[in-house]
């Protein structure tokens, strides 16, 4: 019988997937484990790479969804096939350290209670160039993962159930009547939603930094701004399904209230193309410093990524309302323009080079 089942959703990852599969062949220890890879209707040769690989160290089980449905649906298909008492969730861009499998098994023997989940650590790999945006989101910004603030052996709440490197006992998963909610079509907060329901059954998440995996996912301000927007949309869905969770995200809802009570002049909508141009200009400003930091950059990243996240909240909450354009415009006037002007004034005062941009 296998000791651990790994569930990995895959989408259009053919270019680097074989290296991941080989890395699982390099896992130390002799306990048997299985990798359940679910291809989410990739349009490249992901399924062919998966189905043709012949592992030596583990059992590989491959499934393919008939249509692209998102990582929640792919993981659910994988969970249906799990045989082991411990389930490890990873991503198709996560390269495991040679001790990852053994480490999760050791941790679960130490924390033998059925309600204990183990969170491992995810870092940028040493052979992947790390720009200033990537360094920010992995450290002070913590917009992707909060490892910068986590401490070994401590318990953390449902928001830290990162399905790039987290394991849970099969018994705990099967205490629910359904697993990942497929209404979460993007890779954002679907794991937190599952963990919230598990927490109501007693789930605890314990962090162990030596359970290491490497994240092969290059980001720029452009790609991560879109990631933030989608995460904001999924936050709206999460709090709609679980209204009690608005307490955990009260800062976002306080911000929304402030927008709703702003003077009418702030609510005058920008033309859609002007608003899009302004957001693009903000990304161009940040991208100018992608490979050269400065003392003001952390605040600029914080302001911009917070702005794009909340833009997603507004779009999701008011998608069927005529208020959406007014609120997006008020949001840009209240938060985006001051962030840009504040950065420019600060840069001029410190003789920091500026790109040639025309900000309204």
Q: Please state the domain extents for the chain.
A: 4-215, 221-349
pTM over 0.85: yes
CATH superfamily of 4-215: Spore Coat Polysaccharide Biosynthesis Protein SpsA; Chain A (3.90.550.10)
Q: How would you class 349 by CB atoms within 10 Å of its CB: exposed for 0-12, middle for 13-18, buried for 19 or more?
A: exposed
Q: Determine the Cα–Cα distance for residues 99 and 107; give it in Å rounded to an integer.
A: 12
pLDDT tens string for the chain (360 positions)? 899 999 999 999 999 999 999 999 999 999 999 999 999 999 999 999 999 999 999 999 999 999 999 999 999 999 999 999 999 999 999 999 999 999 999 999 999 999 999 999 999 999 999 999 999 999 999 999 999 999 999 999 999 999 999 999 999 999 999 999 999 999 899 999 999 999 999 999 999 999 999 999 999 999 999 999 999 999 999 999 999 998 888 777 777 777 776 666 556 777 788 889 999 999 999 999 999 989 999 999 999 999 999 999 999 988 877 788 888 888 998 899 999 999 999 999 999 999 987 766
Q: Determine the Cα–Cα distance for residues 304 and 302; give it in Å rounded to an integer.
A: 6
Q: How would you class 226 by CB atoms within 10 Å of its CB: exposed for 0-12, middle for 13-18, buried for 19 or more?
A: middle
Q: Determine the Cα–Cα distance for residues 145 and 168; give it in Å rounded to an integer.
A: 18
Residues 6+ apart with CB under 8 A from 236: 312, 313, 316, 317
Residues 85, 61 contacting (CB under 8 angstroms): no
User: Comparing C-alpha atoms, which of 25, 23, 66 is closest to residue 47?
Assistant: 66
Helices (H), the chain: 14-25, 46-52, 71-80, 100-110, 132-137, 170-173, 190-199, 221-241, 250-260, 264-267, 272-287, 297-317, 323-331, 337-349
Residues 6+ apart with CB under 8 A from 202: 115
Residue whose tokens read 């930091």? 293
Q: Determine the Cα–Cα distance for residues 95 and 122; give it in Å rounded to an integer.
A: 9
Token couple for 236: 């709206």
């Amino acid at each position: 019988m296998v000791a651990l089942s790994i569930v990995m959703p895959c989408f259009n990852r053919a270019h680097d997937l074989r290296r991941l599969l080989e890395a699982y062949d390099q896992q130390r220890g002799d306990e048997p484990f299985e990798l359940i890879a679910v291809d989410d209707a990739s349009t490249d040769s992901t399924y062919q790479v998966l189905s043709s690989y012949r592992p030596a160290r583990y059992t590989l089980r491959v499934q393919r969804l008939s249509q692209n449905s998102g990582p929640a649906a792919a993981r659910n298909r994988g969970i249906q096939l799990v045989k082991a008492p411990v389930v490890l969730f990873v991503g198709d861009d996560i390269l495991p350290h040679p001790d990852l499998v053994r480490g999760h098994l050791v941790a679960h023997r130490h924390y033998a209670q059925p309600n204990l989940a183990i969170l491992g650590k995810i870092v940028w790999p040493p052979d992947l160039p790390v720009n200033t945006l990537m360094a920010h989101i992995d450290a002070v910004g913590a917009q992707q993962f909060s490892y910068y603030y986590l401490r070994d052996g401590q318990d953390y709440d449902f928001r830290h159930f990162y399905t790039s490197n987290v394991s849970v006992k099969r018994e705990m998963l099967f205490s629910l009547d359904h697993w990942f909610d497929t209404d979460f079509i993007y890779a954002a907060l679907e794991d937190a939603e599952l963990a919230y329901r598990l927490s109501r059954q007693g789930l605890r998440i314990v962090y162990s930094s030596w359970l290491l995996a490497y994240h092969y996912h290059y980001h720029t301000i452009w790609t991560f701004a879109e990631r933030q927007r989608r995460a904001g949309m999924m936050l709206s869905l999460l709090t709609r399904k679980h209204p009690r969770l608005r307490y955990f995200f009260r800062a976002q809802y306080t911000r929304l209230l402030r927008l709703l009570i702003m003077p009418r002049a702030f609510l005058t909508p920008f033309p859609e193309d002007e608003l899009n141009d302004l957001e693009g200009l903000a990304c161009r400003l940040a991208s100018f410093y992608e490979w050269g930091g400065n003392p003001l950059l952390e605040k600029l990243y914080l302001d911009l990524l917070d702005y794009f996240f909340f833009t997603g909240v507004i779009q999701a909450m008011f998608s069927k309302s005529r208020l959406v354009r007014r609120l997006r415009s008020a949001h840009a006037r209240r938060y985006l323009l001051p962030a840009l002007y504040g950065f420019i004034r600060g840069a001029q005062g410190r003789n920091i080079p500026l790109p040639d941009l025309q900000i309204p």
